[in-house]
Structure 1
Amino acid sequence: LTDRAPTVGPLYQNPTFKNISPRVGFAWDVFGDGRTSVRGGYGIYFNTNNQQNLIVTVTNPPVTPRPVVNNPTFPVPSFVGSLSVRPVQFNLDNPYVQVWNLNVQRELWFDTVLTLGYAGSRGVHLLRSNDVNVPTPQLRSDGTVFYPVGQSRPNTAFTTIELKSSDGNSWYNALIFEVRKRWSRGFSAQSSYTLSRNIDTTQASTFFSDATNGTTSAFPEPFGIDYNKGLADYHAKHNLVLNFIWEIPFARNLKGAAGKILNGWQMAGIAQMRSGNPLTVFVQRNRSRSQWSPSLGPGIGQDRPSFAPGFTHETAVTGDPIRYFNPAAFVLQPAGTLGNVGRGSLTGPNLRTFDLAMVKNTRWAGLGERTNLQLRIEAFNLFNRTNFGVPLLTAFTGAADNEQPVSTFGLIRSTATSSRQIQLGLRVTF
């Protein structure tokens, strides 16, 4: 943070033999009758670091000079304080996740099984991005922080020093309820409900993900990694999935032309109902004066407002696609301070969809006994429900310290799924 001249050191030289990935599991027939079982398992799974991180870093200054007329040599002896760099932690740790589960299964009758289970995971050394070259704020007596006007960065030779590091974390816990009927008598079905909570500190970090719903986890270093600890971008508290396959039996005994037309039909359907994903509301300018401005990702370098008195993350949401958020629920925090709206603290629109397919299988003896002609009629989003997308998340914009409410705040301009679509298909297998 103190070196005013860019230098190029060695690249990644941290081989390790510590990537041990154990697995353990068990299954117990509780009553010895084959109808009730308890199963569990645990494992550690390592991942490789994203190669893009290395490629982007080594092909940009200070590793690779920019070939411009006024910069014929590198390093530059002196330069104005507008250069930003993206160093990568030298001894990056390999990210890994610990996964565990425990469930109880009970056969209710011949072909139907009930499962009650718990699943969890813990991500360690996940990649994240952080601006480490920001001013140190003043700590007030009430525990809040304040940035005075005109503070300079610790290293004035640079603007952003956006460090890529491997100190992110994630936590996932879920309760699972499932009823499954195995295929028999021409019918199978499954119902699965999951109640879960997914928290992380790095999901939407710049440079490592796209943060399509506006939640960002990179933030100035003085606040620590937990400042943006919140619900993961893809968190959905409730998730119910239903599906079935039914071999329609009505025309099995018909002969002749009627039998060829009406026999061999199957119906299949799948329905999904889930909660919305987390959302974060922003102030467009750097109202906190933290000078934090990482360069990638929606919402990056933007502060968050505060909840108005009497409002919470639940009452701030109206659910109306014209005005999904109540504008009165948010106020600008005092200049030089941070708002109290948390990362991912608001919930987006839920999703409901149902797809249905009708399939007709016909033996085609002319090309051999194993030849089958399949006619498919498929309907997606059968009930034509509108599943709304992400609303506009910027609540205030304008000149620094003089931001004004945004008239389109909370407006939804897109959908998460398409309208009803019906398609026909013909398939030959032999």
Structure 2
Amino acid sequence: MATWSRRCACTLATLLFAGTAWSTSLYADEPTTPRGWLLLAVDRLCAAGPLPGVEAERRLPGAWLLDERARGPGGQTVALEQVFALPGSGELRLLRLQPGGQLRRFTAEYHSLDDHRTRAQLQAVAGGDCDIFAGRRLTYREGRPAGLDQLEGDLETVRWHETLEAPWPEGRDPGGPRVALVDSGLAYDLPLYRDRLARGADGTPLGYDFWDLDPLPYDGDFGRSAFQPIRHGSAVASVLVREAPTAAIIPYRYPRPDMTRLGPLIEQAAASGARILAMPLGSRDPEDWTAFASALTAHPQLLAIVSAGNDGRDLDREPLWPAALDLPNLVVVTSADGFGRLAPGANWGAESVDLMVPAENLEVRDFRGAAGRASGSSYAVPRVAALAARLLAANPELETPDLKAALFARAVASPYEENVVAAGWIPDPATD
């Protein structure tokens, strides 16, 4: 199986598509289906150049412009976004990307309107030649995304199917220290995780989706695109379960729509017996983390391991959160290479960042179970969390201050870096 590589601070992913190009001439003059509208839009608007909304309306029968945004320096249109209302109850969303005036990508999306909410249904992706070479189709269950079909350019033939929601698997609780993982969710239906999930008295796995507010925290961050969900949590979890073979994972999908839900998340993790909280997330807005800080302060038995991020910045001068929180039960980690050099792009801070660990070019498993490589401070988090879990497994009576001290005791001075982290570099976090 081909391998893949990803570098991620917390929530960044790109899907590249390749395949046979299909002609866009197969459309009806008066389209009545999502596919018909997309074929019509690509055929009549892609090669025509960046048309103003009024002119584009003339080429789309019955459509009317809702919104239009053009981006680019000096009056040049590098990106043009247009949204049209369609006859009936749907929207057509178009994105033209033409850096340097040359068309590189034309994307058309159909969104249905249901109960005054739009719902992404179908996407067509055309190249600079205006031939559709790929598509994506979302399916829903009880109003939530349940599946994503990757399509050929005809917008009908399925290349492969991706799961976006699945029932909990049968299995057993591993019985070790409980680690709450807060990320984009987890592909918990993979065999890799079946016997690694912390379970309640009835055998049901613990965990929760604080984004959709349901009990199935499946891996998928739709914040940037409904058709290109970010699948970050599963890759992070694969490092954690490999390096902490007795730890029991409690997966949580983070509450991007309302970050105040981090408070109840911490409460639930504590009530579920978690001692370690692994959270490779962050933002520039301190308000996102007020509820988190209050809840973590109220539960000193939890040790939170958080990432410094990958912005290439000194967090002592330009803070990010939650790394900037001054809490005794919080550890901030960043990525180094195997020699103790700060990784390119990794954030640092002689006061704000505690530890560096090797987190470059790590072997991971993605949401499909496919092998690949990943780098960044996000992947420093599961390495330190796994080390903490092994320390707890060896000595379950450790209180949080002692557990934190034991982590810091593993750190040494980097032979290459000075004044980049407070406690030092851990060359071998996977060994005891």
Interval of TM-score (by shorter of Structure 1 and Structure 2): under 0.3
Higher helix share: 2
TM-score, normalising length from structure 1? 0.26
Q: Which has the higher strand share?
A: 1
Greater C-alpha Rg: 1
